[in-house]
Amino acid sequence: MLVSILVFLLVLSILVIVHEFGHFITAVKLGIPVLEFGFGLPPRIWGKKIGNTLFSLNALPFGGFVRLLGENEEEEGDKSQQFINKPKRIRIAVIVAGVVMNFLLAILAFAIVYSFSGIPKDTHKLKIVDVSAGSPAQVAGVIVGDVISKVGKDNVDSVDYFISKVNDQKGKTTNFEIVRNDNIVKLQMKPRENPPAGEGALGVTITTTEIYFAPVWQRPFIGIYYGFKEAVFWGKTILMGLWTMVYGLFQGQVPKGVSGPVGIFAVTSEAAKNGVLTLINFIGILSVNLAILNILPFPALDGGRLLFIFIEMLMGRKVLPKVEAITHTIGMIILLTLLVAITFHDVVGLIRAGSIAGFLNSMQK
C-alpha cells in the first residue's frame, strides 16, 4: 500500500508539475513575473522563494497553480508586466501553455511505450494465436501460428469478414485453406452452432496484428509519430465520453463510472503492478484527460479564463476584474465540492469492495 501511495503521488506530481511549468515558463518568457508556483491546493505547508517566485507545497495534493503578477486585478508594481494588462494573444498563450504541455507529455509517454514495446501493424493475415482444447479447429489439426487464408472459396483478410463467413457455415463441413511455414495446408472443419461460452464456432483466437520493431535509431521518431496518433485517439475518446455524460445528464441519467482521486489511485496501483511501460502508458492517458478537462469553459479552469478573454473580444472591453475573480472563486468552490463528494463516494465504494481490484471491477459494471 505504501508503494502504491508513493507511485500515485509521483504520477500526480509529474502531471501537475508539467502542466504548471507550461504556464510558468511561458509567463516568464513573455515578461510576466510569477509570484508563486504551487503544488497542491492551499493551505500552504512549506515554501521557498527563488528569485521572484515562491515555490510552495500545499496541503491538498490534488492539482497545482501558478500565481502571476496582476492575474485577476492590478497590483503594485510595473503595470506593463502584469498579466491583466498584457495583450490578449499573450494571455491566451500563457493560459493554453499548460494544456499544450500535458498533450506533449502524453505524446512523450506513448512514444516511450511504442519505442520499447513495438508498433502494432495490421498485416491483413489471420494468424492463429490460440486453439481451444476439443474444438473443431484442434480436432482438424490447426496449430498456433497457422494463417487462415480461405474459408470455402473466399479469401479472408479481416477478422470481421472471417467471423461472418464462418458463421454462415455453422453446422456445415467446410474447407479451409491454411498457410503453415510457407506451405498451403487444406483442412476441413465443421463450425459449431452452439459453441461453449467464451469460444467461437471454430474455437480459435485470431489476430491480424503483429508487432513491428524498427531499427533502434528510428524508434524515437516513429514512437513520436505513433505517440501523437495515440494522444489524438485518447483525446477523441475522452471528448466522446464527456459528451455522452453531459447528454445523459440532460436526459436525467446519473453518470456511471465517474471517479476521482481514489479511482485514479486504484488504477495507478493496478497499472504499476503490470510494469513500468503500463504505468507510463497510463500517465499518457491521464495527461490527455487533464489537458481536456482543463480546457473546458468552466470558471477556475484554464478554459474558463479563456472564456473571459473571448467575452472581452466580443464586448470590446474587459470584464470587470472583480466580477471575473468572484466567478473563478465560485467555480473553484464548486469544483472542490464535487471533488469532496466524488472522493467520499469512492472511499465508500473501496470499503465495500474490500480491495482495489474489487473496487475497479465495481467501477466497470
The 10s digit of each residue's pLDDT in 82-98 is 998 899 999 999 999 99
Res 166: pLDDT = 92
The Cα 228–Cα 220 span in angstroms is 12
Question: How many distinct helices (H) and strands (E) make up the chain?
Answer: 10, 8
C-alpha cell at 227: 505517440
User: How many whole angstroms from its chain centre is CA 73?
Assistant: 35
Res 286: pLDDT = 93
Secondary structure percentages of the chain, helix, strand, coil, to 5? 55, 20, 25
The Cα 222–Cα 113 span in angstroms is 11
Residues 226, 114 contacting (CB under 8 angstroms)? yes
Mean pLDDT of the chain: 88
Averaged pLDDT for residues 132-149: 93
Res 360: pLDDT = 66
Q: What's the CATH number of domain 120-212, 2.30.42.10, 3.40.718.10, 3.40.50.1820, 3.40.50.720?
A: 2.30.42.10
The Cα 288–Cα 281 span in angstroms is 11
Residues 298, 304 contacting (CB under 8 angstroms)? yes
Spatial CA neighbour of 187 closest among 130, 223, 137: 137
Res 365: pLDDT = 57
Residue 205, pLDDT above cutoff 70? yes
Residue 130, pLDDT above cutoff 90? yes
* % pLDDT > 70, the chain: 94
How far lies 43's CA from each of 56, 247, 338, in Å?
10, 36, 19
The more confidently predicted of residues 355 and 130 is 130
20 belongs to the catalytic site:
yes
Domain boundaries, the chain: 2-117+227-364, 120-212
Averaged pLDDT for residues 143-170: 92
195 upstream amide cis, omega within 30 of 0 = no
Q: Return the minimum-mean-pLDDT range out of 149-153, 197-201, 233-237.
A: 197-201
Q: What is the pTM of this model?
A: 0.82
The Cα 66–Cα 22 span in angstroms is 10
DSSP 231: H
The Cα 261–Cα 124 span in angstroms is 41
Sign of CA dihedral 223, 224, 230, 233: negative
* % pLDDT > 90, the chain: 53
Where residue 118 falls (left for φ over 0; alpha for ψ -120 to 50; beta otherwise) is left
What pairs with residue 120 in β-bridges? 211
C-alpha cell at 245: 455524460
Q: What is the DSSP string of 92-130?
A: HHHHHHHHHHHHHHHHHHHHHHHHHH-EEEEEEEEEEEE
Residue 232, pLDDT above cutoff 90? yes
Res 91: pLDDT = 95
User: How confident is the model over 165-188, as pLDDT tens digits?
Assistant: 999 999 999 999 999 998 999 999
Read off the amino acid at residue 21. F
- Number of Cβ within 10 Å of residue 97's Cβ equals 23
Residue 329, φ and ψ in degrees, nearest 5? -65, -45
Residues 302, 99 contacting (CB under 8 angstroms)? yes
The Cα 81–Cα 70 span in angstroms is 8
Res 231: pLDDT = 94
The Cα 243–Cα 69 span in angstroms is 36
- Number of Cβ within 10 Å of residue 211's Cβ equals 9
Contacts 24+ apart (CB under 8 A), 310-318: 312/88, 313/88, 318/84
Residue 282, pLDDT above cutoff 80? yes
C-alpha cell at 92: 491566451
User: How confident is the model over 37-95, as pLDDT tens digits?
Assistant: 998 878 899 999 998 899 999 987 767 889 999 887 777 777 889 998 899 999 999 99
Res 180: pLDDT = 94
Averaged pLDDT for residues 103-127: 92
Active-site residue, from 20, 177, 230, 324: 20
The more confidently predicted of residues 253 and 345 is 345
